[in-house]
Each structure stands twice: as structure tokens, then as C-alpha cells.
């Protein structure tokens, strides 16, 4: 996979994995557009990485997704890579959380409906452009969910399943469909309390990009390879192990 001279859109790109991806791809000679809900965070990202192009939108809202697509089509019609990275999580108890249903809807809209919708919206554009790629970011928790994330696990498992079917249905179409399963990564996503097993964001992104260059379509970063093997050999043990992690 050629990872230079591309025009790349990264959702949730104002911090964490998204911003590190932008930094990595820009250093390789790509043009990178990031979007996010917070103009303040996007402006900070722009100050940190002046070459990046920013666009404010909330991908959990259908009209905002359409607005994003229309803007890209008009201003960057040669865009050939979509990275669905935006995600939110509620660390909570399903039974006792009075606002659980509102949190559930927002997580499903952001983590599952948004990337599926963006895949559909951008498909005609990407099919026209050369060396096109869609990357869906999921997690090793698709194999063994963490009990503190009652909805997040399910949304990412759903995106994993969709990505497999999407890739299968697009056989013969000159468009690569890649899934990246991330481990715990030390980013602001954890609100200053990352799990002890979290790896540096630079390490996670570097491994992801190297594996993309080799043409891998299902990329397991860091400890996800071990969790995958455990989930196949001893699923109950894998579930117990991932839920014994501190943080």
C-alpha cells in the first residue's frame, strides 16, 4: 500500500490516535484533513501541526456527515483515504446509570452508525480515485469485552462484523478495506487514567502504518494478537484476564 501523495480524511483527528496518524501521514508527504466536534481542539491541533487541514463537524449527526462529505467533494475531490477513527466511550454501570439510554444512543451513533454511513457516502468518490482505502479503527475488545464499557464493546464488535462483510462484498472493486484493532493506547481518550497496559500512541500508530504498508487488511496492534489467540483457545480465561486489568 502506497502511503505517500494521498489525500486523507481522519475523523476524530484532533487528539490521540487521530492526531498522531495525521502527524505520521504528513511526514510521509500526504495531505491530511482532520475533523472533530470541538473547534478549540481542532485549533490546538492546527497550531501543533500547521500543515493539517481542519473541519468542524459532529459525525454522530446525519446532516453533519452529509455536510462533511459535500465539503470534501467540493474542496478535496481527489480524497482517496477515509479513516473512521472517531469514537466515544461511557465507563459506567448499565443497571444503575439513569442516563444509560442517552449514552447508549450517542455511542451507537458515533461508533457504529457514523462509520457505516461515511463508508456509504464516500464510496462513489473513493471508487473514482486511485489507490483508495477505507480504514475502520476497532479494538482488541471485539474478542474479549471489558465489563466497564457496556456499549463501546458492542459498537466496535458491530463495526468489525460490518467491515468483514463490506470487504467481502467489494471483492473485485479497486478499493482496499482495512480494519485496525487497537490495544489500550495512552491518549486523552482515557481522561488521564489509561490502563496500566496502555502503550504509547506513537508506538501504536507506527505499528499500524508499517502493517498498512505491507498490505495487511486486518491489523492487530500490540497485545491484540495475544488477546485474539486467548479468545480462540480459552474465551472464558480471555474475558477474565481483560477484566482484571487495572484502570
Query: Domain spans of the chain?
Result: 7-242
Phi/psi at 53 (5° precision) = -100, 135
Q: Given this model, what pLDDT does residue 194 score? A: 77
Q: Given this model, what pLDDT does residue 188 score? A: 78
Which CATH code, of 3.40.190.10, 3.20.20.70, 3.40.50.300, 3.40.50.720, is assigned to 7-242? 3.40.50.720
Give CA–CA dist 152/104, Å, rounded: 9
Q: What is residue 242's three-state secondary structure? A: helix
Determine contact, residues 54/35, Cβ cutoff 8 Å.
Answer: yes
Question: What mean pLDDT, rounded, does the chain reach?
Answer: 96
Q: Which residues are catalytic?
A: 152
pTM, to two decimals: 0.95
Q: Given this model, what pLDDT does residue 197 score? A: 85
Give CA–CA dist 69/216, Å, rounded: 27
**Mean pLDDT, residues 39-62:** 97
Determine contact, residues 126/175, Cβ cutoff 8 Å.
Answer: yes
Give CA–CA dist 84/10, Å, rounded: 6
11-32: per-residue pLDDT in tens? 999 999 999 999 999 999 999 9
Q: Given this model, what pLDDT does residue 225 score? A: 96
Amino acid at each position: 500500500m502506497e502511503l505517500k501523495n494521498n489525500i486523507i480524511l481522519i475523523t476524530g483527528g484532533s487528539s490521540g490516535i487521530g492526531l498522531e496518524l495525521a502527524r505520521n501521514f504528513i511526514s510521509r508527504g500526504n495531505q491530511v484533513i482532520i475533523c472533530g466536534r470541538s473547534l478549540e481542539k481542532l485549533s490546538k491541533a492546527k497550531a501543533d501541526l500547521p500543515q493539517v487541514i481542519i473541519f468542524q463537524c459532529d459525525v454522530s449527526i446525519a446532516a453533519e456527515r452529509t455536510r462533511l462529505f459535500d465539503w470534501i467533494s467540493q474542496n478535496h475531490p481527489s480524497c482517496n483515504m477515509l479513516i473512521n477513527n472517531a469514537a466515544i466511550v461511557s465507563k459506567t454501570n448499565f443497571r444503575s446509570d439513569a442516563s444509560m439510554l442517552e449514552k447508549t444512543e450517542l455511542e451507537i451513533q458515533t461508533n457504529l452508525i457514523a462509520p457505516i454511513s461515511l463508508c456509504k457516502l464516500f464510496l462513489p468518490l473513493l471508487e473514482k480515485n486511485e489507490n483508495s482505502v477505507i480504514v475502520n479503527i476497532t479494538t482488541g475488545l471485539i474478542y474479549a469485552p471489558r465489563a466497564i464499557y457496556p456499549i463501546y464493546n458492542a459498537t466496535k464488535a458491530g463495526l468489525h462484523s460490518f467491515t468483514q462483510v463490506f470487504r467481502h462484498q467489494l471483492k473485485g472493486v479497486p478499493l482496499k478495506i482495512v480494519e485496525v484493532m487497537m490495544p489500550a493506547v495512552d491518549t486523552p481518550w482515557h481522561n488521564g487514567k489509561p490502563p496500566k497496559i496502555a502503550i504509547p500512541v506513537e508506538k501504536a500508530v507506527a505499528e499500524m502504518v508499517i502493517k498498512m504498508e505491507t498490505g495487511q487488511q486486518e491489523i492487530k496492534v500490540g497485545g491484540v494478537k495475544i488477546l485474539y489467540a486467548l479468545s480462540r483457545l480459552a474465551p472464558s480465561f480471555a474475558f477474565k484476564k481483560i477484566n482484571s486489568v487495572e484502570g
